[in-house]
Amino acid sequence: MAEDSSDSSTSSTHPEVRWLPLEGNPDIWNQLVHSHGVGPQWSYTDVYGFDPELLDMIPRPVLAIIFLFPLTENYEKHKEKEEAHLTKHEQNVSPNIVFFRQTIANACGMIALLHSLANNESIVGPGLFHDLIEESKDMSPDERAEMLEKSKELADIHMTCAQEGQTQAPDISEEVDLHFICFVVKDQHLYELDGRKLFPINHGKCLDLVDGSAKVMRQYIARDPEQTNFSAIALTKTPEN
């Protein structure tokens, strides 16, 4: 499973930065975060489906849900309509939410991973991700995007992981039509964090991240009933063997 191109609002005068797509493979994501400051007691795991009995199989507690879906005309229309509505009717967004804009082509997997960690900072120990989170704390989303573009260390570890997938990595210039986003709960509200959007989306009061995010993911699926490339992974407490 690979991922999309960059934020569609990136200026044409801005030199494009492109990365290889990252697979939605929990083993690769775990290898990445466990070697850069996240302890083995937290890990990414596959979500086997969106029906309640399959969602019940996800180990608890769950800190974040990563959703992979196809970029379609329906997604773009919904995104445009949603952003126009929320720009006109301003939503409440917790000051504790950390949001990154995606300006690097094919970087949505890393952006989703960063969203999952930056909004659960307590699990991130010393290392690259801790440093990026600390450096970005007082930045705007656009300033954070620029910081990520300039991080050679992040680009290098992304390249290493992108080449370790189970499927052959596409050519770096190839347009990919799948996209990762992240769901987290902050201050008892469910947030959708999509680096292609202008801002976080507050989906309202939420007492259970899995149930809340599943409702939104099923809305994505319903908007594109002819599509089949929907999947998810969860950041959870690692089950004891």
**Which residues does the annotation mark as catalytic?**
108, 179
Tokens representing residue 133 in the block: 């989170």
Distances (CA, A) of 209 to 136, 185, 221: 25, 6, 18
Contact between residue 115 and residue 184 where contact means Cβ atoms under 8 Å apart: yes
Q: What is the dihedral of CA 62, 46, 94, 141, to 10 degrees?
A: 140
Q: Which long-range contacts (CB under 8 A, 24 or more apart) does 9-18 make?
A: 9/198, 10/103, 14/103, 16/105, 17/103, 17/104, 17/105, 17/149, 18/104, 18/105, 18/106, 18/172, 18/173
CA separation, residue 222 to residues 22, 85, 147, 215, 228 (Å): 26, 21, 36, 11, 11
Phi/psi at 6 (5° precision): -85, 180
Between CA 194 and CA 30 the distance in angstroms is 21
Residues facing residue 225 across a β-bridge? none
